[in-house]
């Protein structure tokens, strides 16, 4: 076993007994004694800061890990058991809030209709956004976009035939079509730098609240379980189908807020690329997968509904915080008004 070194994120500060015990375990090998380990049937607190951070810590061991943390923790049986209980709690909370999952065709059709007067985050930033809100938004998104395409890459060996080929085609674009400077995570880091933010992977983990962690945790949960491959395809579809219009608004909003060319390049790329990806994911991935594995249709529908739910929860958190002139971050950046919610 080796200790992770190099430009890796530091372990974050805890947000409750679970994440405190888990960071202590990963840092010092301290036993997780006296920790209220969640019951598998406890969905009541699946959205809280402690649960979401603990789950993120478990998942990050499968990506880059943390500075000073032994790589061997990735497959530690005890840690996997804890992760399973956290996953069950989180999925229970998601299912309880969704209720009856709408049919897949109905959800896909709804995604193609843009509201005439939207009230989402990109609409707010375009119409009345303040300069301090743009960096906050990027900090929220950094926990995913600095690893963009990595969660979805897990689905490639779990598909076959036409669906697999279409996913690879989309992922090829996400990874810059073979050009390191065009990798989407690199474009996002360049955009962060344009707004004066630190571009280090995981640098803002201490600042990102539970609603943003939940968006990434849902992807990782679906990605790391073969039985959820259909749900991951649904999540992937939601991103690709809805991204282009929102990206266009963010380009205009960030230009209005003073962004330079590198401060909009990431979203400019998504305006064009995701317009193509929308067709690929609908016809090349979803239709092909259902044709080959009809039983996955319900899982795809659930994944799409779940992804929409976590995105809506994050959007409500951002908009409600900003309407009150409060920082939306767990630990506010300098220059933001008010206190963290």
Task: Summarize pLDDT for 176-189 with one digit per residue, the tens.
Answer: 999 999 999 999 99
Query: Does 88 lie in the same domain as 183?
Result: no
Residue 170 lies in a domain: yes
Residue 289 lies in a domain: yes
Query: Does 132 lie in the same domain as 93?
Result: no
Query: Does 261 lie in the same domain as 201?
Result: yes
Query: Does 177 lie in the same domain as 37?
Result: no
Query: Does 69 lie in the same domain as 131?
Result: no
Rounded to the nearest 10 degrees, what angle do helices 210-223 and 297-323 cross at?
170
CA distance 337 to 320: 14
Residue 248 lies in a domain: yes
- Residue 290: give its domain's CATH number: 1.20.910.10
Residue 277 lies in a domain: yes
CA distance 86 to 54: 8
3-class DSSP state for residue 160?
coil
Residue 200 lies in a domain: yes
CA distance 84 to 278: 33
Query: Does 249 lie in the same domain as 307?
Result: yes
Per the structure, how many domains does the chain have? 2
Q: Hey, what's the torsion of the CAs at 129, 312, 197, 56, to 10 degrees?
A: 170
Query: Does 319 lie in the same domain as 250?
Result: yes
Query: Does 231 lie in the same domain as 271?
Result: yes
CA distance 287 to 290: 5
Query: Does 228 lie in the same domain as 272?
Result: yes
- Residue pLDDT tens, the chain, 341 long: 344 444 899 999 999 999 998 999 998 886 666 556 665 555 457 999 999 999 999 999 999 999 999 999 999 988 999 999 999 999 999 999 999 999 999 999 998 877 656 789 999 999 999 999 999 999 999 999 999 999 999 999 999 999 999 999 999 999 999 999 999 999 999 999 999 999 999 999 999 999 999 999 999 999 999 999 999 999 999 998 888 889 999 999 999 999 999 999 999 998 876 667 888 898 999 999 999 999 999 999 999 999 999 999 999 999 999 999 999 999 999 877 754 44
Nearest-5° Cα angle at 97, 96 to 99: 70
Rounded to the nearest 10 degrees, what angle do helices 77-98 and 17-28 cross at?
150
CA distance 142 to 123: 20
Closest CA to 236 of 313, 318, 163: 163
Range of the domain at 66: 17-98
Residue 5 lies in a domain: no
CA distance 228 to 231: 5
Query: Does 177 lie in the same domain as 142?
Result: yes
Query: Does 120 lie in the same domain as 68?
Result: no
Return phi, psi of residue 99, to 5°.
75, -130
CA distance 335 to 291: 52
Residue 333 lies in a domain: no
Entry pTM: 0.93
CA distance 60 to 23: 12
CA distance 245 to 77: 44
Closest CA to 86 of 143, 36, 13: 36
Residue 186 lies in a domain: yes
Instruction: Check the CA dihedral 35-37-42-44 and report its sign.
Output: positive
Domain stops at, among 68, 98, 128: 98
Query: Does 268 lie in the same domain as 220?
Result: yes
């Amino acid at each position: 076993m080796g200790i992770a070194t190099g430009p890796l994120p530091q372990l974050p500060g805890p947000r409750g007994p679970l994440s405190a015990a888990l960071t202590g375990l990963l840092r010092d090998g301290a036993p997780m004694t006296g920790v209220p380990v969640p019951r598998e049937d406890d969905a009541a607190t699946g959205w809280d800061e402690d649960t979401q951070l603990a789950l993120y810590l478990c998942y990050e061991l499968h990506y880059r890990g943390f500075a000073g943390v032994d790589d061997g923790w990735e497959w530690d049986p005890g840690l996997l058991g804890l992760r399973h209980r956290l996953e069950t709690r989180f999925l229970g909370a998601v299912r309880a809030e969704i209720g009856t999952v709408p049919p897949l065709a109905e959800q896909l059709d709804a995604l193609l209709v843009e509201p005439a007067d939207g009230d989402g985050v990109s609409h707010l930033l375009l119409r009345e956004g303040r300069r301090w809100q743009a960096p906050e938004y990027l900090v929220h998104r950094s926990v995913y976009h600095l690893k963009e395409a990595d969660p979805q890459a897990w689905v490639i060996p779990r598909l076959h035939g036409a669906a697999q080929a279409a996913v690879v085609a989309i992922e090829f674009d996400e990874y810059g079509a073979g050009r390191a400077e065009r990798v989407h995570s690199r474009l996002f880091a360049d955009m962060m730098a344009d707004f004066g933010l630190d571009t280090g992977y995981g640098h803002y983990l201490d600042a990102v609240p539970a609603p943003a962690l939940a968006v990434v945790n849902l992807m990782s949960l679906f990605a790391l379980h073969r039985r959820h491959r259909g749900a991951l395809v649904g999540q992937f579809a939601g991103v690709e189908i809805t991204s282009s219009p929102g990206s266009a608004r963010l380009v205009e909003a960030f230009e209005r807020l003073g962004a330079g060319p590198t401060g909009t390049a990431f979203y400019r790329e998504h305006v064009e690329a995701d317009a193509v990806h929308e067709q690929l994911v609908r016809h090349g991935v979803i239709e092909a997968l259902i044709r080959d594995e009809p039983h996955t249709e319900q899982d795809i529908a659930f994944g799409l509904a779940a992804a929409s739910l976590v995105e809506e929860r994050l959007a409500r958190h951002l908009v409600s915080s900003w309407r009150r002139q409060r920082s939306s971050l767990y630990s506010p950046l300098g220059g933001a008004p008010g206190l963290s919610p």
